[in-house]
Amino acid sequence: MILVFGKTGQVARELQQLGALMALGREEANLSDPQACADAIRHHSPDAVINAAAYTAVDQAEDEEVIATVINGDAPTAMAKVCAELGIPFVHISTDYVFEGTGKDPWQPQDQTAPQNAYGRSKLAGETGIAGSGGTYAILRTSWVVSAHGANFIKTMIRLSETHDVLNIVGDQIGGPTPARDIAVACLQIAEQLVQEPSKSGIYHFSGTPDLSWADFARNIFEQAGKSVTVTPIPTTDYPTPAQRPLNSRMDCTATNRVFGIERPDWITGLKTILDDLEART
Protein backbone atom coordinates (compact mmCIF):
# COMPACT_ATOMS: atom_id res chain seq x y z
CA MET A 1 0.00 0.00 0.00
CA ILE A 2 1.20 3.50 -0.85
CA LEU A 3 0.43 6.25 1.65
CA VAL A 4 -0.21 9.71 0.19
CA PHE A 5 -0.15 12.95 2.13
CA GLY A 6 -2.72 15.28 0.61
CA LYS A 7 -6.33 14.89 -0.54
CA THR A 8 -7.51 18.14 -2.10
CA GLY A 9 -4.46 19.39 -4.02
CA GLN A 10 -4.10 18.99 -7.77
CA VAL A 11 -1.65 16.05 -7.70
CA ALA A 12 -3.31 14.43 -4.67
CA ARG A 13 -6.66 14.37 -6.45
CA GLU A 14 -5.11 12.75 -9.51
CA LEU A 15 -3.33 10.18 -7.36
CA GLN A 16 -6.60 9.16 -5.76
CA GLN A 17 -8.18 8.66 -9.17
CA LEU A 18 -5.32 6.38 -10.20
CA GLY A 19 -5.98 3.66 -7.68
CA ALA A 20 -4.68 1.55 -4.83
CA LEU A 21 -3.41 3.92 -2.20
CA MET A 22 -4.44 5.62 1.02
CA ALA A 23 -4.67 9.42 1.02
CA LEU A 24 -4.50 11.44 4.23
CA GLY A 25 -6.06 14.90 4.43
CA ARG A 26 -5.55 17.62 7.02
CA GLU A 27 -7.92 15.85 9.41
CA GLU A 28 -5.76 12.72 9.48
CA ALA A 29 -2.33 14.38 9.28
CA ASN A 30 -1.88 18.14 9.25
CA LEU A 31 1.51 19.17 7.86
CA SER A 32 1.67 22.00 10.37
CA ASP A 33 2.25 19.19 12.90
CA PRO A 34 5.31 17.25 11.61
CA GLN A 35 5.14 14.76 14.47
CA ALA A 36 1.56 13.82 13.53
CA CYS A 37 2.77 13.12 9.98
CA ALA A 38 5.55 10.90 11.27
CA ASP A 39 3.11 9.05 13.56
CA ALA A 40 0.72 8.48 10.65
CA ILE A 41 3.43 6.73 8.65
CA ARG A 42 4.30 4.48 11.59
CA HIS A 43 0.61 3.71 12.16
CA HIS A 44 -0.18 2.72 8.56
CA SER A 45 3.18 1.02 7.86
CA PRO A 46 2.95 1.47 4.06
CA ASP A 47 5.20 0.12 1.32
CA ALA A 48 6.04 3.67 0.17
CA VAL A 49 5.05 7.27 0.92
CA ILE A 50 4.26 10.09 -1.51
CA ASN A 51 4.02 13.63 -0.19
CA ALA A 52 1.61 15.52 -2.45
CA ALA A 53 0.70 18.13 0.18
CA ALA A 54 2.34 21.53 0.53
CA TYR A 55 1.95 25.19 1.38
CA THR A 56 1.56 26.61 -2.14
CA ALA A 57 0.34 30.19 -1.59
CA VAL A 58 3.48 31.76 -3.09
CA ASP A 59 2.64 35.40 -2.41
CA GLN A 60 1.12 34.75 1.02
CA ALA A 61 4.29 32.92 2.04
CA GLU A 62 6.12 36.26 2.03
CA ASP A 63 4.17 37.10 5.20
CA GLU A 64 3.94 33.54 6.54
CA GLU A 65 7.39 32.12 5.95
CA VAL A 66 7.53 30.45 9.38
CA ILE A 67 4.45 28.29 8.87
CA ALA A 68 5.33 27.74 5.20
CA THR A 69 8.69 26.37 6.33
CA VAL A 70 7.06 24.06 8.87
CA ILE A 71 4.71 22.65 6.21
CA ASN A 72 7.19 22.55 3.31
CA GLY A 73 10.36 21.94 5.28
CA ASP A 74 9.88 20.38 8.72
CA ALA A 75 6.99 18.05 7.84
CA PRO A 76 8.63 16.42 4.78
CA THR A 77 11.85 16.06 6.78
CA ALA A 78 9.95 14.25 9.55
CA MET A 79 8.26 12.00 6.98
CA ALA A 80 11.57 11.15 5.31
CA LYS A 81 13.22 10.27 8.63
CA VAL A 82 10.45 7.82 9.54
CA CYS A 83 10.58 6.30 6.06
CA ALA A 84 14.33 5.83 6.54
CA GLU A 85 13.71 4.09 9.87
CA LEU A 86 11.13 1.77 8.28
CA GLY A 87 13.23 1.14 5.18
CA ILE A 88 10.58 2.37 2.72
CA PRO A 89 10.89 4.89 -0.13
CA PHE A 90 9.72 8.48 0.14
CA VAL A 91 8.67 10.48 -2.94
CA HIS A 92 8.36 14.25 -2.54
CA ILE A 93 7.19 16.91 -5.00
CA SER A 94 9.28 20.07 -5.12
CA THR A 95 9.64 23.05 -7.44
CA ASP A 96 11.86 25.02 -9.80
CA TYR A 97 11.49 27.92 -7.34
CA VAL A 98 14.51 26.54 -5.46
CA PHE A 99 16.65 28.08 -8.25
CA GLU A 100 17.35 31.76 -8.84
CA GLY A 101 15.27 31.74 -12.02
CA THR A 102 17.64 33.56 -14.36
CA GLY A 103 19.29 32.68 -17.68
CA LYS A 104 17.91 30.58 -20.50
CA ASP A 105 19.44 27.14 -19.94
CA PRO A 106 17.21 24.41 -18.47
CA TRP A 107 17.90 23.82 -14.79
CA GLN A 108 19.63 20.52 -14.03
CA PRO A 109 19.09 18.62 -10.75
CA GLN A 110 22.66 19.26 -9.61
CA ASP A 111 22.61 23.01 -10.31
CA GLN A 112 23.24 25.43 -7.45
CA THR A 113 20.05 26.38 -5.62
CA ALA A 114 19.30 30.01 -4.77
CA PRO A 115 15.59 30.59 -4.06
CA GLN A 116 14.41 34.17 -4.52
CA ASN A 117 11.27 34.07 -2.39
CA ALA A 118 9.92 32.61 0.86
CA TYR A 119 8.09 29.77 -0.86
CA GLY A 120 11.27 28.68 -2.63
CA ARG A 121 13.24 28.83 0.61
CA SER A 122 10.61 26.71 2.40
CA LYS A 123 10.69 24.08 -0.35
CA LEU A 124 14.49 24.00 -0.31
CA ALA A 125 14.37 23.39 3.46
CA GLY A 126 12.32 20.27 2.75
CA GLU A 127 14.74 19.09 0.07
CA THR A 128 17.69 19.52 2.41
CA GLY A 129 16.00 17.58 5.21
CA ILE A 130 14.93 14.75 2.93
CA ALA A 131 18.36 14.39 1.34
CA GLY A 132 19.89 14.22 4.81
CA SER A 133 17.43 11.65 6.17
CA GLY A 134 19.57 8.67 5.25
CA GLY A 135 16.73 6.85 3.53
CA THR A 136 15.55 5.96 0.04
CA TYR A 137 13.96 9.00 -1.57
CA ALA A 138 13.13 10.85 -4.77
CA ILE A 139 12.64 14.59 -4.85
CA LEU A 140 10.69 15.42 -8.00
CA ARG A 141 10.94 19.09 -8.92
CA THR A 142 8.21 20.28 -11.25
CA SER A 143 6.74 23.52 -12.59
CA TRP A 144 3.55 25.25 -13.72
CA VAL A 145 1.17 22.56 -12.43
CA VAL A 146 -2.25 22.50 -14.12
CA SER A 147 -5.37 20.35 -13.92
CA ALA A 148 -9.16 20.49 -13.84
CA HIS A 149 -8.94 20.81 -10.03
CA GLY A 150 -8.11 23.61 -7.64
CA ALA A 151 -6.65 26.98 -8.61
CA ASN A 152 -4.31 27.06 -11.60
CA PHE A 153 -3.54 29.02 -14.77
CA ILE A 154 -5.85 27.10 -17.11
CA LYS A 155 -8.88 27.56 -14.89
CA THR A 156 -8.05 31.24 -14.36
CA MET A 157 -7.78 31.85 -18.11
CA ILE A 158 -11.09 30.11 -18.82
CA ARG A 159 -12.79 32.15 -16.10
CA LEU A 160 -11.35 35.45 -17.40
CA SER A 161 -12.35 34.57 -20.98
CA GLU A 162 -15.99 34.84 -19.94
CA THR A 163 -15.64 38.58 -19.26
CA HIS A 164 -12.60 39.73 -21.28
CA ASP A 165 -11.84 40.00 -25.00
CA VAL A 166 -8.26 41.20 -24.38
CA LEU A 167 -5.86 40.07 -21.64
CA ASN A 168 -2.38 41.24 -20.70
CA ILE A 169 -0.31 38.15 -19.83
CA VAL A 170 3.33 37.95 -18.76
CA GLY A 171 5.47 37.06 -21.76
CA ASP A 172 9.02 36.91 -20.36
CA GLN A 173 8.63 34.01 -17.91
CA ILE A 174 9.43 30.75 -19.70
CA GLY A 175 8.69 27.22 -18.49
CA GLY A 176 6.92 23.94 -19.10
CA PRO A 177 3.26 23.55 -18.06
CA THR A 178 2.89 20.19 -16.29
CA PRO A 179 -0.43 18.34 -16.02
CA ALA A 180 -1.03 17.10 -12.48
CA ARG A 181 -2.17 13.74 -13.86
CA ASP A 182 1.27 13.17 -15.39
CA ILE A 183 2.97 14.14 -12.12
CA ALA A 184 0.79 11.64 -10.25
CA VAL A 185 1.62 8.85 -12.68
CA ALA A 186 5.33 9.67 -12.44
CA CYS A 187 5.24 9.65 -8.63
CA LEU A 188 3.65 6.20 -8.56
CA GLN A 189 6.12 4.80 -11.09
CA ILE A 190 9.07 6.25 -9.17
CA ALA A 191 7.79 4.90 -5.83
CA GLU A 192 7.36 1.42 -7.31
CA GLN A 193 10.85 1.45 -8.82
CA LEU A 194 12.46 2.71 -5.60
CA VAL A 195 10.98 -0.24 -3.71
CA GLN A 196 12.96 -2.56 -5.98
CA GLU A 197 15.98 -0.31 -6.61
CA PRO A 198 16.82 2.03 -3.73
CA SER A 199 19.99 3.05 -5.58
CA LYS A 200 17.83 5.27 -7.79
CA SER A 201 17.44 7.72 -4.89
CA GLY A 202 18.09 11.35 -5.71
CA ILE A 203 16.74 14.63 -7.07
CA TYR A 204 14.95 14.65 -10.43
CA HIS A 205 13.12 17.09 -12.68
CA PHE A 206 9.77 16.65 -14.39
CA SER A 207 8.01 19.31 -16.46
CA GLY A 208 5.85 19.45 -19.55
CA THR A 209 7.09 20.04 -23.07
CA PRO A 210 7.47 22.22 -25.06
CA ASP A 211 8.63 25.20 -23.01
CA LEU A 212 6.91 28.52 -23.69
CA SER A 213 5.80 31.77 -22.05
CA TRP A 214 2.67 32.29 -19.98
CA ALA A 215 1.33 34.50 -22.80
CA ASP A 216 1.84 31.77 -25.39
CA PHE A 217 0.33 29.20 -23.05
CA ALA A 218 -2.73 31.42 -22.66
CA ARG A 219 -3.07 31.63 -26.46
CA ASN A 220 -3.00 27.82 -26.65
CA ILE A 221 -5.66 27.55 -23.96
CA PHE A 222 -7.99 29.97 -25.72
CA GLU A 223 -7.42 28.31 -29.08
CA GLN A 224 -8.20 24.82 -27.80
CA ALA A 225 -11.16 26.08 -25.77
CA GLY A 226 -12.58 28.02 -28.73
CA LYS A 227 -12.41 31.37 -26.90
CA SER A 228 -11.95 34.64 -28.81
CA VAL A 229 -9.47 36.42 -26.56
CA THR A 230 -6.55 38.54 -27.72
CA VAL A 231 -3.41 38.04 -25.60
CA THR A 232 -0.99 40.95 -25.21
CA PRO A 233 2.42 39.93 -23.79
CA ILE A 234 3.75 42.15 -21.00
CA PRO A 235 7.03 42.08 -19.03
CA THR A 236 7.10 40.77 -15.47
CA THR A 237 7.91 44.31 -14.33
CA ASP A 238 4.42 45.37 -15.45
CA TYR A 239 2.80 42.71 -13.25
CA PRO A 240 4.35 43.13 -9.79
CA THR A 241 3.63 40.48 -7.15
CA PRO A 242 4.70 40.22 -3.48
CA ALA A 243 6.90 37.20 -4.29
CA GLN A 244 9.49 37.38 -7.04
CA ARG A 245 8.76 34.96 -9.88
CA PRO A 246 11.47 33.16 -11.88
CA LEU A 247 11.95 34.27 -15.48
CA ASN A 248 13.49 30.89 -16.31
CA SER A 249 11.56 27.81 -15.22
CA ARG A 250 12.97 25.53 -17.92
CA MET A 251 13.92 22.13 -16.47
CA ASP A 252 16.29 19.46 -17.75
CA CYS A 253 14.41 16.16 -17.32
CA THR A 254 17.04 13.92 -18.92
CA ALA A 255 17.91 12.05 -15.72
CA THR A 256 14.26 11.24 -14.99
CA ASN A 257 13.98 9.61 -18.41
CA ARG A 258 17.32 7.81 -18.14
CA VAL A 259 16.83 6.41 -14.64
CA PHE A 260 13.09 5.77 -14.49
CA GLY A 261 12.12 5.61 -18.17
CA ILE A 262 9.66 8.48 -17.69
CA GLU A 263 9.45 10.98 -20.55
CA ARG A 264 8.47 14.63 -20.34
CA PRO A 265 4.68 14.89 -20.71
CA ASP A 266 3.15 16.62 -23.71
CA TRP A 267 1.12 19.43 -22.15
CA ILE A 268 -0.78 20.02 -25.41
CA THR A 269 -2.42 16.60 -25.02
CA GLY A 270 -2.81 17.20 -21.30
CA LEU A 271 -4.50 20.56 -21.96
CA LYS A 272 -7.13 18.92 -24.15
CA THR A 273 -7.91 16.37 -21.43
CA ILE A 274 -8.19 19.12 -18.80
CA LEU A 275 -10.48 21.25 -20.98
CA ASP A 276 -12.65 18.18 -21.69
CA ASP A 277 -12.86 17.50 -17.95
CA LEU A 278 -13.84 21.10 -17.23
CA GLU A 279 -16.50 21.10 -19.96
CA ALA A 280 -17.96 17.86 -18.67
CA ARG A 281 -18.56 19.54 -15.31
CA THR A 282 -20.56 22.44 -16.76
State how far the alpha carbon of 225 is from the alpha carbons of 120, 121, 154, 177, 276, in Å. Answer: 32, 36, 10, 17, 9
Residues designated catalytic: 119
What is the rounded end-to-end Cα distance, in angstroms, of the chain?
A: 35
In 56-214, which ranges are E strands? 90-95, 137-142, 145-146, 166-170, 174-175, 178-179, 202-205, 212-213
Residue type, 276: D
Say which residues have a Cβ less than 8 Å from residue 75's Cβ, sequence separation at least 6. Answer: 31, 32, 33, 34, 37, 51, 126
